[in-house]
Amino acid sequence: MFIPRFRSHFTSRLGFARARLLLDASILLGTLTLAGSLGTHLSVVRGSSMAPTIRDGDRIMVEPVIAGVERGDVVVLSYPLDPTVDYVKRVIGLPGERVTMAGGRVWVNGEALVESYVEAVDHGACISTRVPEGHYFVLGDNRPRSSDSRDFGAVPMEALRGEVHLKVWPPARVGLVD
């Protein structure tokens, strides 16, 4: 019968691996097609500054910023010291807010943030700054391994290239970005 041959072929190790690869490739191709029609683009992450949320080698969908961003949003921005390089960071401070970091904690306008997405805190960071109008204060989730607003200052709105809501590759890490 057809079903037993189908099952034996696709349940063999080599057959299952080929079927999975074909399925993964089909999903990625469909995602890229949809992305192009929505004005989004695919980006490959390099580095560990956003771990564990986004890891080195992850492929992410970058959507245009339409109505501004909110605290906690993950964004892609042009690196202020070399605009040809893109960085992925999390928005912490909004225009006009005071951001303070000390002892591994972050406060915005005097209120401590609960940051479940942070992999490792930076106990050595000590900063207090007001975010200028039209700018955002951004940090990586892996604080000791991140070059962010602590180094290059608040980021102007026009440097934000897009928001990240979805990881699309590798298949084991596909999902929403919180």
Confidence of residue 25 (pLDDT cuts 50, 70, 90): low
pLDDT tens-digit readout, 45-76: 899 999 999 999 999 999 987 777 999 999 99
Q: What is the structure's pLDDT at 7?
A: 47
Cα distances (angstroms) measured from residue 42 to each of 16, 47, 53, 54, 87: 27, 16, 17, 14, 14
pLDDT tens-digit readout, 112-138: 999 999 988 899 899 999 999 999 999
Q: What is the structure's pLDDT at 170?
A: 85
3-state class percentages of the chain: helix first, strand second, coil last, to nearest 5: 30, 35, 40
Q: Residue 157 pLDDT more than 90?
A: yes
Superfamily assignment of 40-176 in CATH?
Umud Fragment, subunit A (2.10.109.10)
Q: Residue 3 pLDDT more than 60?
A: no
Confidence of residue 20 (pLDDT cuts 50, 70, 90): low
**Which residues are tagged catalytic?**
49, 89
pLDDT tens-digit readout, 138-155: 999 999 999 999 999 999
Q: What is the structure's pLDDT at 119?
A: 81
Query: Quick one: which of 53, 166, 24, 55 has its CA closest to 174?
Result: 166
